[in-house]
Amino acid sequence: MNENLFASFITPMILGLPLVTLIVLFPSLLFPTSNRLVNNRFVTLQQWMLQLVSKQMMSNHNPKGQTWTLMLMSLILFIGSTNLLGLLPHSFTPTTQLSMNLGMAIPLWAGAVITGFRNKTKASLAHFLPQGTPTPLIPMLVIIETISLFIQPMALAVRLTANITAGHLLIHLIGGATLALMSISTTTALIMFIVLILLTVLEFAVAMIQAYVFTLLVSLYLHDNT
């Protein structure tokens, strides 16, 4: 049971070679560059959503922070498309792997923090010691603020991993229960099937929301350091 439950989270292999690279590159095929004078509805919808999200996310940034717009929009497209493709049957979701999410979170967080120390050194150091702190509490507060700073990329990666993994496990469990109940009670199996459909719709929303939350938090870290 445990092996079947977590089988969808195992990295797929062919002839001993991992297919993660191909799976990660596949979402880029869903966003082709249009050379037409008048775009079709799919490309127009993509551009409208990108403009809406970028305007909402980057409007509070100064010119230095707005230089990250292309990177952040690429990030939200990648995470969102990867999460949605992972909901297809017999597919693999790279964002269920903590190592991959850390690989996205740590460089972006480090880039934002390094940018802050380069451009706003005094303001960045001031975050470690709030104004008006009593002298006996200074060492403890510096340690706490340092730990909270270094735990930010871990929180980013764990949040995305936990939410996507939990949703996939629930779909797997409820789907298995529906199949098992079909031979016992048709009415209960039908109720479970309706719950499964509603949960799948919810997971579509969660896939997009988690992509937005991940990118928004990176944007907030960048805003604090520019």
Confidence of residue 169 (pLDDT cuts 50, 70, 90): confident
- The domain containing residue 219 runs over which residues? 1-225
Q: How many C-beta neighbours within 10 Å does residue 23 have?
A: 18
* pLDDT score for 136: 80
Highest mean pLDDT among 60-64, 97-101, 138-142, 213-217: 213-217
Per-residue pLDDT reduced to its tens digit, 56-112? 777 777 888 788 888 888 888 888 888 888 888 777 788 888 888 888 899 999 988
The structure tokens listed for 224 are 């604090």
The answer to whether the beta carbons of residues 95 and 214 sit under 8 Å apart is: no
Residue 206 in this model has a pLDDT that exceeds 80: yes
* pLDDT score for 2: 45
Per residue in 157-171, is it b (16+ CB within 10 Å) or e — as a string?
Answer: bebbbebbbebbebb
* pLDDT score for 32: 64
Instruction: Give 196 or 35, the one with higher predicted confidence.
Output: 196
Residue 213 in this model has a pLDDT that exceeds 60: yes
Confidence of residue 1 (pLDDT cuts 50, 70, 90): very low
* pLDDT score for 107: 92
Stretch 167-179: mean pLDDT: 85
Q: Closest by alpha carbon to 105, among 149, 155, 66, 64?
A: 155
What is the separation of C-alpha 34 from the centre of its chain, rounded to a whole number of angstroms? 27
Domain count, the chain: 1
Query: Counting Cβ atoms within 10 Å, is residue 77 exposed (0-12), middle (13-18) or buried (19+)?
Result: buried
In this structure, what DSSP letter does residue 14 have?
A: E
Measured distance CA(180)–CA(190) in Å, rounded: 12
Instruction: Give 15 or 123, the one with higher predicted confidence.
Output: 123
The answer to whether the beta carbons of residues 72 and 57 sit under 8 Å apart is: yes
